[in-house]
Amino acid sequence: MTAGEGAASGVIMGDPGDRGRFGEFGGRFVPESLVPACMELEAAFRAAWADPAFRDELTSTLASYGGRPTPVTECPRLSAELGVRVLLKREDLAHTGSHKINNVVGQALLARRMGKTRLVAETGAGQHGVATATAAARYGMACVVYMGEVDTARQELNVFRMELLGAEVRPVTSGSRTLKDAVNEALRDWVATVEDTHYCLGSVMGPHPYPWIVRELQRVVGDEARQQCRAILGGADPDVVVACVGGGSNAAGTFAGFADATSSALVGVEAAGGAAMAKGIPGVLHGMRSNLMQDEAGQILEAESISAGLDYPGIGPEHAHLAAIGRARYETATDAEVLEAFQLLSRTEGIIPALESAHALAWVARAARSGDELVRSGSTVLVTLSGRGDKDVAQVRELLA
């Protein structure tokens, strides 16, 4: 398959071709040292994804070990408060407490198939790091997680979790000492270790084939949710499908289940302080062409948000494409709105959301109250609850004190 075939066949979230293009976004902008590794990974994934035995092992592992399928939950008290019908796709109930497990089990199985014995990963909030450490433990692989020093401080417990799982956490002291710098360090590690190491990238970003691999591995979220919603809604689809976006993996996985199969509106919600779609300009970082927060010279700006998981100045290239073609819309939520949504869901439904996921809820609350065209009274809104909030409780307590 070559670039553009997906578009020609009318598929919105299809195969990005051998050049990894989502419209004008994506690509493979890495030093030559890493190009052969990216090509090898692409070939291995194409073969594995077409191999029923690989798919069976992934599906059964996600069921027996990962806790899939995760349910879709009606939210009667939250719905009454907002005047719209809210359904939650419960990735907070997956093993390790977020959707990240879907991606890492798939990549670990792929790495094992490729004969790699070591995983490296970047992490922001620590969710992807914990998930990677978990998969490494499960499959007996060595694991190194790069995490910005700012994030190791605000997510201490996740650092301990990773160490408990047998991973080595390396604090990153370069640049802004957050997620983008952790990606740089992971890439630097991979350049030197590519022979025995797989870079287990955590979101729909980076050089081709990562944005495609991670979206396909997260597609299970959207595919399950579509069927579950139809069962609940008597065969209908939600009017709006909402997910938070940092790099954008839970949103990409969710949207993949709806972009082609339904006419549901798709909304991604970024942190106001890391809004690559709202404030970004097309550029190239971490191997991909996408929207980036950058200054007039092209230096990348630091994202700043209450949520370490969304502290990323870019966005997955397919999201930039979905926005460009108008299939998805991207909004932002402020830290104050997020804190309010965090408490709202806890109080009304007995579910404490991750701060990342609270961004999606925060937009729904604002849209419902302000009468946004997408969220009219009586609309049905599916929100992907990407993770649970246990990791954030201590931070929120301090913020509310």
Partner 1 sequence: MTVATAPDLAATLAAHRAAGRKLLVPYVTGGMDDQWLVTVEALAGAGADAIEIGLPFSDPMIDGPTVQAASLAALERGTTPAGVLADLGRISPGVPLVVMTYYNLVVRTGHRRMAASMAESGVTGAIVPDLPLEEVGPWAEAADSAGVATVLLVAPSTPDGRIAPIVERCRGFVYTVGRMGVTGEQRQLAGTALDVAARVKARTSLPVCVGIGISDADQARRVCEVADGVVVGSALVRRLLEGGGVEAAVDFIGGIRRALDRG
Does the N-terminal peptide bond of residue 69 adopt cis geometry, omega within 30 degrees of 0?
Answer: yes
Strands 21-22 and 25-29, sheet pairing:
antiparallel
Give the residue with the Cβ less far from partner 1, 32 or 373: 32
Interaction pattern, residues 2-21, with partner 1; x per rule: CB under 8 A? -----------------x--
285 binds partner 1 (CB under 8 A): yes
CA distances from 355 to 72, 209, 330, 360, 386 (A): 19, 29, 18, 9, 10
What is the C-alpha separation between 63 and 198, in angstroms, rounded? 24
Encoded tokens for 241? 């499908």
222 within 8 A of 255, measured Cβ to Cβ: yes
Give me the residue label for tokens 């502290």.
Answer: 311
Which helix (H) or strand (E) segment is 333 a member of?
strand 328-333
Question: How far is CA 72 from each of CA 262, 321, 350, 378, rounded to the nearest angstrom?
Answer: 17, 28, 15, 18
218 binds partner 1 (CB under 8 A): no
Does 75 participate in catalysis according to the annotation?
yes
- Bond before 209 cis per omega within 30 degrees: yes
Q: How far apart are CA 61 and CA 119, in angstroms?
A: 19
The answer to whether residue 24 forms part of the interface with partner 1 (CB under 8 A) is no
- 143 an active-site residue? no
Kindly tell me which residue out of 9, 33, 59, 60 binds partner 1, with binding defined by CB under 8 A. Answer: 33
Can you name the residues that pair with 287 across neighbouring β-strands?
A: 29
Q: Which of 75, 200, 229, 244 is catalytic?
A: 75
Q: Which of residues 34-63 bind partner 1 (CB under 8 A)?
A: 34-37
Site string for partner 1, 240-259 (x = CB under 8 A): --------------------
Does 294 bind partner 1 (CB under 8 A)? Our answer is yes
Q: Cβ-count burial of 115 within 10 angstroms (0-12 exposed, 13-18 middle, 19+ buried)?
A: exposed
Sole binder of partner 1 in the list 41, 82, 300, 382 (CB under 8 A): 300
If one asks whether residue 236 binds partner 1 (CB under 8 A), the answer comes out as no
The closest alpha carbon to 99, from 388, 400, 352, 306, belongs to 388
CB of 34 to partner 1, least distance (A): 8
Query: What's the closest the beta carbon of residue 329 comes to partner 1, in angstroms?
Result: 25
* DSSP H stretches of helix in 206-259: 210-232, 249-256
Distance CA 40, CA 33 (A): 13
Determine what percent of the chain falls in helix, strand and coil, rounding each to the nearest 5.
Answer: 50, 20, 30
Considering beta carbons, is residue 9 or 33 the nearer one to partner 1?
A: 33
Q: Among the candidate windows 90-98, 131-139, 295-303, 370-378, which touches partner 1 by CB under 8 A?
A: 295-303
User: Measured from the CB atom, is 8 or 297 closer to partner 1?
Assistant: 297
Q: Does 171 bind partner 1 (CB under 8 A)?
A: no
Interface with partner 1 (CB under 8 A), residue from 281, 325, 336, 394: 281
Which lies closer to partner 1 via its Cβ, residue 76 or residue 115? 115
**Is 198 an interacting residue with respect to partner 1 (CB under 8 A)?**
no
CB of 349 to partner 1, least distance (A): 40
Q: Applying CB under 8 A, does 284 fall inside the site for partner 1?
A: yes
Burial zone of 184 (CB within 10 Å; 0-12 exposed, 13-18 middle, 19+ buried): middle
Q: Is 28 in the site for partner 1 (CB under 8 A)?
A: yes
Nearer to partner 1 among residue 22 and residue 258 (C-beta): 22
Q: Cβ neighbours of residue 304 under 8 Å, at least 6 residues apart?
A: 273, 274, 311
Residue 185 CB, shortest distance to partner 1, in Å, is 9
By CB under 8 A, tell whether 296 contacts partner 1.
yes
Give the shortest CB-31-to-partner 1 separation in angstroms: 5
For residues 291 and 300, give the distance between their C-alpha atoms in angstroms, rounded to a whole number. 11
CB 209, min distance to partner 1, A: 13
To partner 1, the closest distance from the beta carbon of 30 in angstroms equals: 6
Work out which of 299, 373, 378, 397 binds partner 1, going by CB under 8 A.
299
Q: Does 120 bind partner 1 (CB under 8 A)?
A: no
Q: Would you count residue 174 as binding partner 1 (CB under 8 A)? A: yes
Site residues for partner 1 per CB under 8 A = 19, 27-37, 174-175, 180-181, 184, 187-188, 191-195, 281-287, 289, 292, 294, 296-300
- Catalytic residue set: 75, 99
